[in-house]
Amino acid sequence: MSRVGAGVLPPAAGLLSRAFWFACDHPLPVLGLGLLGTAPAAALLLLFLREALLAVFTSGEGVAGLLPLASGLAAVSFLRFPFRLALARFMAAGPGGSVGQSARFALVHLPAALLYGALSTLGWVLGAVLLLPLALAFSATLAFHRFAATGLTAWEALGDAWRVPTAGLALRLGATCGALVVVVFLVLWTSPGAALGLAEWLVRADVAALREALGPGAPAWTAAALVLSLTAGELLWTLAFGLLAADWQRLTEGSDLAAALDLLEARPATAGEAFE
Amino acid sequence: MTPILPTRACRNHPARPGLGVCPSCSSVVCEECSIRVDGILHCRACQVSAVAAPDRPRWRSLSAVLPALVLLPVAWGAVTLLLQGLAGALALVGSWLREAG
């Protein structure tokens, strides 16, 4: 089978919009699996960054003491993938899908989930330095959904996903998700403080105690807003790839048509004869 | 008459033109090798395996066990190394700022 042309891929904004409405239509499974999968890793990442900053700027200590935390963060980041596989299965199952069946599927296919986790993580880590391996991370993400939707093995699904040139679309999706994370964080971080300020001004309510817990200066609320916004960003990313995989038949038919047209262009004499 | 659009050959019968593409295995199949379910064309092999062998999906992850066992520690090490590198870069900036301040 030929490689799909980038022209058949949907626009990133359309995919993200559909991902948002999918989350609105299925709030419990999406938020449940998303929070269980991503929130612990996001929280540990923030803890690591906080400890790193404290160790470096405040106490002036070295970074060797952070090795156990970094190692734990790496382990927790792999545990996201079984939850993401369950979410992918839930998306692939359509209206008849249930969270229990999806979770069972993820449990049965734990090795595949961890393999995709390792491939995707390697793609991101190496891609952060060399750029090109990012394509592996993108393909692994798409293959993940292909695996959940079909009877293909993990390697077959990866080979299948490799036919789709996701790099351009994934970069646009990543940039939009990054911008959304910042916006969601700012909204979450400042909303309670603004609401409390309004309540104080309108009804002269005493909100000093609440402001300490939920105001923009409260470390706990800042951390919670960061975790929630990072989780939302990754959820949208995952859902967008799931929706892309759901369009597989249309994508491959597009590729076959493109391949047929390429062949036709390469054989103008035959094409001319056909019309005579 | 020569067909206007060249067609792909069936996976199982190279001499026959393909009728469509199976959405499960993405292979081109002819009329004999295909079956329509809810109006969507599938290859018979995928349809038969989906109906007759529901346990097959349980085993398709087995091929991922060994690569996962090899790649997970590699990815684990890569993430740890990247995070330590990040912290090391912060330490460098911190020491530079302390010296400057």
Of all residues in chain B, the one with the smallest CA distance to A122 is: B75
Looking at the fold, whether B12 and B55 belong to one and the same domain comes out as yes
Kindly report, residue by residue over A11-28, the tens digit of the pLDDT: 888 889 999 999 999 999
Answer yes or no: do B80 and A60 touch at CB < 8 A.
Answer: no
The token pair at A216 is: 């923009």
- Which of the residues B10, B58, B83, B93 would you substitute to probe the A interface, choosing the one with the greatest number of A C-beta atoms within 10 Å? B83
- Which of the residues A249, A253, A255 would you substitute to probe the B interface, choosing the one with the greatest number of B C-beta atoms within 10 Å? A249
- Confirm whether A20 is domain-assigned: yes
Q: Strand pairing partners for B36?
A: B41
- Residues of chain B with C-beta less than 8 angstroms from the C-beta of A117: 72, 75
- Confirm whether A255 is domain-assigned: no
- Confirm whether A77 is domain-assigned: yes
Answer yes or no: do B61 and A70 touch at CB < 8 A.
Answer: no
Kindly report, residue by residue over A219-260, the tens digit of the pLDDT: 889 999 999 999 999 999 999 999 988 887 677 665 555 555
CA distance A161 to A89: 16
Contact B3, A271 (CB under 8 A): no
Q: Is B41 exposed, middle or buried (0-12, 13-18, 19+ CB in 10 A)?
A: middle
Looking at the fold, whether B78 and B92 belong to one and the same domain comes out as yes
Looking at the fold, whether B17 and B5 belong to one and the same domain comes out as yes
Compute the average pLDDT of residues A173-178: 91
Looking at the fold, whether B67 and B55 belong to one and the same domain comes out as no
Answer yes or no: do A55 and B87 touch at CB < 8 A.
Answer: yes
Domain enclosing residue B84, as ranges? 61-101
Number of domains in chain A: 1
Q: Which long-range contacts (CB under 8 A, 24 or more apart) does A51-59 make?
A: A52/B86, A52/B87, A52/B90, A53/B90, A55/B87, A55/B91, A56/B87, A56/B90, A56/B91, A56/B93, A56/B94, A57/B90, A57/B94, A57/B97
Out of B46, B71, B91, closest to residue A63 by CB: B91
Domain enclosing residue A77, as ranges? 10-243
- The nearest CA of chain B is from the CA of A244 a distance in Å of 14
Number of domains in chain B: 2
Kindly report, residue by residue over A66-84, the tens digit of the pLDDT: 888 889 999 999 999 999 9
Answer yes or no: do B97 and A57 touch at CB < 8 A.
Answer: yes
Looking at the fold, whether B11 and B39 belong to one and the same domain comes out as yes
In 3-state terms, what secondary structure has residue B92? helix
Q: Cβ neighbours of residue A11 under 8 Å, at least 6 residues apart?
A: none
pLDDT for position A181: 93
Looking at the fold, whether B52 and B16 belong to one and the same domain comes out as yes
- Confirm whether A1 is domain-assigned: no
Residues in chain B: 101
Kindly report, residue by residue over B54-89, the tens digit of the pLDDT: 445 567 788 889 999 999 999 999 999 998 888 888
Looking at the fold, whether B13 and B50 belong to one and the same domain comes out as yes
- Confirm whether A59 is domain-assigned: yes
The token pair at B66 is: 């060994």
Q: What is the CATH number of the domain that holds B7?
A: 3.30.40
Looking at the fold, whether B48 and B68 belong to one and the same domain comes out as no
Q: In B, residues 47-86, which contact A (CB 8 Å cutoff)?
A: 49-50, 56-58, 60-65, 67-68, 71-72, 74-76, 78-80, 82-84, 86
Looking at the fold, whether B40 and B73 belong to one and the same domain comes out as no
Answer yes or no: do B94 and A160 touch at CB < 8 A.
Answer: no
Mean pLDDT estimate for chain A: 84
Looking at the fold, whether B48 and B74 belong to one and the same domain comes out as no
- Confirm whether A125 is domain-assigned: yes
ipTM over 0.95: no
- Confirm whether A266 is domain-assigned: no
Answer yes or no: do A115 and B83 touch at CB < 8 A.
Answer: no
Closest listed residue to residue B28, CA positions, set A253, A7, A216, A52: A253
CA distance A2 to A255: 7
Contact A17, A213 (CB under 8 A): no
- Confirm whether A257 is domain-assigned: no
- Which of the residues B60, B76, B99 would you substitute to probe the A interface, choosing the one with the greatest number of A C-beta atoms within 10 Å? B60
Looking at the fold, whether B68 and B44 belong to one and the same domain comes out as no
Looking at the fold, whether B68 and B98 belong to one and the same domain comes out as yes
Answer yes or no: do A63 and B76 touch at CB < 8 A.
Answer: no
The token pair at A4 is: 């799909």
* Gyration radius from chain A CA atoms: 23
